[in-house]
A and B are shown apart, each in its own frame.
Chain A
């Protein structure tokens, strides 16, 4: 199939409304200093996606730079561990820079240039969005600063170095919980100060309008491809589409085109950390309640006063106490469901997929792998005669997580045996 499918609004894609609301969710809860920039961005986005030249350029970058379309891989050996389910993997890990983040970054970098801005800033958790932003900044000749929580710079040191090698400046944020939410606060402060020269390249379907809508549209390519690939190759739609959900950009990307297909279950897997009952998790939809964070109304992990609680996850990319407002809306309407997956379940899936398929997923994506396996086993018990087809969005590759895996599994990184030398 070709990737030159236009990015454009169409019936059934009418949310959010003109104010950025997905019914009760979303909106713009921002300092007034940012209002003009958000209006400028929305106008730039709206005109860009109606401009054939912009779409052609984005399409060319996707194909010739990012390596799209990404394939769907059937996971035969992994499926044997998933009851009667047939597991298909959408391979966003094969994108340039190793994750789906490049899809959004290329779109927003083109917009940055269109708005005449010379500098981009970004927040990053696992570093995948930071690396993607640094990459696009290098490609477009933009100045780039990436904010990253101090805890995350330590657990994702490899990605810090990658960003620096790409020419970006990485700022470690020592405030608060020193993770993704604090990186986002610091990026917001930078943007408030430098809004005339700077575009804040938000990496998820969160933040104030128009970011949740815009990032969804730039990530929609995942499900545009996946839906066509299903029909072309398998002659049917899947029974379930699954993805991990932190802020939720890869999940919105793979859900978007399937939302109008009622027979396709949409299931997001949140970071359950040490277990939702432990209180140490990042399962915002499963265990949070409605509030305002980072410019949007959505589900938030918060205390009874509305102070944000610290989230916990082995996965830096899911370690966020909020979630994109469209996911909140999909959950509230019942169109999508969300379940927590613990650190342990995710790490077991990380190893199982590596050993059965030779595909090492990002720990973020491993949450979706674990969740899909659980679904397959659950459905095999509930409906033994059913052979469901489950698509998992493998949002990124796991190279960046090898250090974490070494610690988790107690691998010491030395050889298993020595040969070739006499005693």
Chain B
């Protein structure tokens, strides 16, 4: 089935606010489907193997892969992450992953022709230097940042640096966000808007929430020119297909990380590629 019918069906045309990453989501809509965004943290099980896994994300087994890779930077105090991602990022930190490694991963993903965005807790960016990080991310070929603990309220330096270096800035909107906050947060975004579909931290759930379509509509009503991605809780092709009916992108994280955790000793990426195939089918309506 085509997924565009159920959304507004309009193409996203001529908006500078699409940036680079929003264009990927808009192109998917042009194909009558949702985009697939896949998250993996750099450094788990090692920097080198995490980059291999990200390459696998861009391919699956059939070459479709994800449309955009969300590269997570491990952090000591990840208040938005559930157990699966905490497990992986804790290991990565124990193995000494550094902020500069995320730029290495960005470069590797960008070399595949797929876009890379970085999901990073704010203190790490501040310590690298906001402008220096933006400069190096742009030089590595990255499209922008997703900032789980930075809202536009405190984002002055990042908004400035992202403008200077031509990067997208994706902020999160939650079901609990007030109308004023949906408006101000969405207006601060470039690229797309990240809708957290259920209240809570990351982690695969058996059901996605009714709150998600409502939230997507609330965002669209104030910013019809921006695509909306829905994350937190999607793990199966059926869930991906369900979310693809109302969102412009389906974001999957914990379900992919779990594939790596289960293959921690073998380092075999077969299961990961299989899940990516299924999800890529899901966003094309093949639940």
Contacts and interface: CB of A to CB of B under 8 A. Distances in A.
A131 B126 CA distance: 36
B151 A32 contact: yes
Contacts of B86: 175
Contact of A305 (B127, B153, B199): B127
Nearest to A309: B76
Max chain B Cβ within 10 angstroms of own Cβ: one of A33, A181, A292: A33
Size range of the chain B interface in the assembly:
35 or more
Contact of A192 (B123, B124, B200): B200
Interface residues of A, number: 36
Contacts of B149: 29-31, 292, 295
Interface string A20-47: 0000000111111111110100000000
A307 B125 CA distance: 11
Contacts of A196: 176, 199
Contact of A30 (B76, B123, B151, B181): B151
Interface of A is mostly: mixed
Nearest to B155: A29
A293 interface: yes
Given A28-B153, A292-B126, A305-B127, A176 B90 contact: yes
A321 to B, nearest CB: 9
B79 interface: yes
Nearest to B151: A32
A150 B218 CA distance: 42
A333 to B, nearest CB: 21
A192 B177 contact: no
B77 A19 contact: no
A291 interface: yes
A308 B176 contact: no
Contacts of A291: 123, 126-127
Interface string B151-178: 1011000000000000000011111111
A302 B177 contact: no
Given A175-B86, A196-B176, A306-B124, A33 B151 contact: no
B108 to A, nearest CB: 20
Contacts of A295: 149
A34 B80 CA distance: 11
Contacts of B39: none
Contact of B127 (A30, A35, A175, A304): A304
B49 interface: no
Interface string B66-87: 0000000001111110100010
Contact of B79 (A27, A35, A188): A188
B75 A307 contact: yes
Interface string A175-218: 11000010001001100111110000000000000000000000
B101 to A, nearest CB: 10
Contacts of B104: none
A33 B124 contact: no
A176 B87 CA distance: 10
A300 interface: yes
A292 B181 contact: no
B99 interface: yes
B208 to A, nearest CB: 15
Given A31-B79, A192-B79, A194-B199, A300 B123 contact: yes
A176 B176 contact: no
6 contacts: A33-B176, A189-B200, A291-B127, A302-B127, A306-B126, A306-B127
Given A35-B181, A195-B176, 17 more contacts: A27-B153, A31-B174, A33-B174, A33-B175, A33-B200, A35-B153, A36-B177, A39-B178, A176-B77, A176-B90, A192-B80, A194-B199, A292-B149, A294-B77, A307-B76, A307-B93, A308-B77
